[in-house]
Each structure stands twice: as C-alpha cells, then as structure tokens.
A and B are shown apart, each in its own frame.
Chain A
Amino acid sequence: MDAIALIAPRAGRGLHRFANPGRFLRLAGAVQPWLTGSAIIVTAIGLYWALFISPADWQQGDAVRIMYVHVPAAWLASMGYAGLALCSLASIIWRHPLADLAAAEIGPVGAGFTALCLATGSLWGKPMWGAWWVWDARLTSVLVLFFLYLGHIALVRAFDEPQRGYRAGSILALVGVVNLPIIKFSVDWWNTLHQPATITLMGAPTMALTMLWPLLVCAIGFTLVFAALVVARTRAAVMERRIRALLMARSEASA
C-alpha cells in the first residue's frame, strides 16, 4: 500500500479532501481480491496444518491446538489497536480524512479478534488451568483492551456530526495506547496465571518447530484476514460517504 500517500500531510479542505480517498479506492480495489484470496488460502492451510497435522503437546494433549487460534487472535488484537492508534495520530496531527474512516472501521474488526482471543482463552483455561477466567494482570489488561475497542466503536458513532466523533474517538484511542505495553509485559512485571511469552524478539522460541511453523502460518493468515476485512470496510465507508455527498448535492440542486 502506498503508505506515504496515505499519511502525507494534507490541507484537508474542500474538494481536495476527497482526492486522497479516490486514490485509495483505486488502489484498494486492485489489492482487495488478492488480499481476500490469500487470506482465505493461508488461513485454511494454517488451520489444517495446526488442527490435523501438527503434534499434540506432551502434557496438554490436543487442547494445545486452541493455541493456533488464540495466539494469532491475541497478536492481532494488540496489533490492530496499534493500527487504530496510528490512524488516530494521523487524524489528530494531519486531519487526514481517510485515517478517520480507517480508524472507525478497524474498531469492530479489532474488537472481534479480541473477543475471539478472550473466548478461546477461556475455553483453553478451563481444561488446563481449571478456571474459565481469573483476574490476573494479563487477562484483565486484555479485557480492558476489549472495552477500549467497544468504547471507540460507540464513541465514533455517537455524534450527529461525524468529525466530532472521529476527534473524540482518536483521543480515546491514543489514551488507550498505554494499555499495549501493559498487556505485553504484564506476564513479566507481575506473577500471573498466564504463562510468559513463548516467542520473543530476543532468544529462541521455547516451542518445537513442528508446532512453531503452523503457528506462524496461522498468524500470517489471521493478519491477512484482518487486513482484508479492514480494507473492505474502509472501501465501503469511502463509497458510502461519496454516495451521501452525491445525494446531498442532488437534493440541494433540486431544492
């Protein structure tokens, strides 16, 4: 994606506002089929590999297969929020109209992935830990992330004038960024029931390679699904806004 064109400073006035979304529509329209297709194929390969081919864990048995959905969903929940925060930054600093729309559309997708992470985590926790839910620092901070997503979804849609919603939403999103390092490091800073990270930037992953590869394929697949959903939703939002502008113009012309 032409990131520089998307984030480049813009005056953001009059007809000029829609120049950039127009370029986005052309670009995204060309990318969308490939993005959606690869998302479906990679996720299908990853899930088949993870659920049927990869070995069971020596002590968790087949329950370990929940990991292949839970961990990518958790990564995407955090990364999606980081994307939401970047769009909000672009919205506040550059008043970028496309960033407003993208932020509003990332919210529901990110909330969906966070809900998936919480649900699979709960299903995994009951047989392994012996509890559906505990109030440890990791689980609580991810629940807070879920509420931040829900708050953002509600806030950007709560105003009659969309610009005010976008402004309020971007401030909420940027304030919520403090939660991201808390989620990441909660398992290192405090003792939690949730185990620390298996895959870290420094050091080798503490996981058999026969389990690591399907996990990585699933993570790439989930990332593509996330991107495909966000691009499709943002395209729809741009088109919706254009249609509304056309209808307004027509009703003004006939009046």
Chain B
Amino acid sequence: MTRKGRRWAIVLVCGVGLGSATALSLLAFSSDMVFFVAPSDLAANGQPGRSLRLGGLVEAGSVHRVSEGGEPVAHFRVTDGKASVDVSYTGILPDLFREGQGVVTLGTLRPDGTFRASEVLAKHDETYMPKDVADALKKAGMWDPTKGPPPPAATWNAMATRTAG
C-alpha cells in the first residue's frame, strides 16, 4: 500500500467512526434536540408546573383577546391535529400571530390542563407569496389561511401569470 493509499484509509476509517459516533449521540439526545413539544405529547405525558415550550398551529376560531386590568390577554388553542391545548398569554403578540399560524409558546402547564405562556413566538412556514397572489387564492376559495397551508406553488404560480397577463 502506498503512503497515499494509507492516508486515504486513515481518513476514511476516521470519517466512518466519527460519523457513526455523531449519529449515535444525536439519536440518543434526539428528545433533547427538539425545540418544542406538540399538544399530543403534552396530553400523553405532561407534568404540571414544569417549564416547557409548546408548539403547534393556532386553532381556527379559537383566539379571544380580552383586557384584564388594563393588560391585553390572549386566549387561544394550540393544536397539532390530534390534540389541542388552551393557552393564555398576557402581553403583545408577534405581528405574524394569526389563526392557522404556527406558534411556539414558552410557559408552564397548569393543573387544570391549560397552558400559561410567558412568551409567544410566531413560526412562519416555508411558503413565500406576494400579497396579490394570496388575495387571489383566498378570493378564488382555493385557500383559507386559518385552515392550513396553501396549495402547491405550481398551481398559484400558473395562476399569478394568468392574472398578470
């Protein structure tokens, strides 16, 4: 074996070893790598009093904004399609907060099964579309942002050129 061949062998063996070690550690820690838990996880094994992040979609028609003692309080339900949790939050919500939007809330589960959030982050999806396209889709009845993600981009890209031309 040449010296070059030996160096190749060393690099490959180290690469395989390091790669599998990393993969195994990531697998072992995968439950700690998640940024938030879903409402169905919380329903299965949520412990009241522990601080955690709850993430999911804001359920359509569930948002109620009230004023308690001069402070804006928002009540809404966070759902993952299987389970949903009542969340209350005192403070100003991010601009992107709306029904059907993904959110991540930091807070604690209370004994009555509701979630008291101290922080609400909006999570936007990987779709980007201009306002006129979104309006056209909503007008055509092809998409309701409060109900779920938009249809595939191929359908509205074709529509956008049709309306433009």
Q: Which A residues touch B36, using CB under 8 A?
A: 191, 193
Q: Which A residues touch B104, using CB under 8 A?
A: 193
Q: Are A208 and B156 in contact (CB under 8 A)?
A: yes
Size range of the chain B interface in the assembly? 35 or more
- Which B107-156 residues have C-beta < 8 A from chain A? 119-135, 145, 152-154, 156
Beyond A127-B95, A134-B35, whether A209 also contacts B127 by CB under 8 A is no
Q: Are A55 and B22 in contact (CB under 8 A)?
A: no
Shortest C-beta distance, A99 to chain B (Å), equals 13
Give Cα distance in the complex from A192 to B127, angstroms: 16
Q: Are B22 and A178 in contact (CB under 8 A)?
A: yes
Q: Are A207 and B129 in contact (CB under 8 A)?
A: yes
Q: Are A193 and B126 in contact (CB under 8 A)?
A: no
Q: Are B120 and A206 in contact (CB under 8 A)?
A: no
Shortest C-beta distance, A181 to chain B (Å), equals 9
Q: Are B55 and A191 in contact (CB under 8 A)?
A: yes
Query: B69 interface residue, CB < 8 Å from A?
Result: no
Q: Are B160 and A189 in contact (CB under 8 A)?
A: no
Tell me the nearest residue of chain A to B123, going by C-beta. Answer: A193
Beyond A189-B30, A209-B157, whether A58 also contacts B134 by CB under 8 A is yes
Shortest C-beta distance, B139 to chain A (Å), equals 13
Q: Are A57 and B130 in contact (CB under 8 A)?
A: yes
Beyond A128-B94, A178-B18, whether A206 also contacts B153 by CB under 8 A is yes
User: Besides the contacts A182-B22, A191-B36, what 16 more A-B pairs have beta carbons closer than 8 Å?
Assistant: A9-B4, A55-B130, A57-B130, A58-B129, A58-B134, A59-B96, A59-B145, A60-B128, A92-B11, A129-B124, A130-B94, A131-B121, A189-B30, A195-B125, A208-B153, A208-B156
- 11 CB-based A-B contacts, threshold 8 Å: A55-B131, A57-B129, A60-B96, A92-B7, A93-B4, A128-B94, A198-B126, A206-B127, A206-B153, A208-B129, A211-B130
For the complex of A and B, 5 pairs with smallest distance between CB atoms: A55-B130, A58-B134, A130-B94, A136-B35, A207-B128
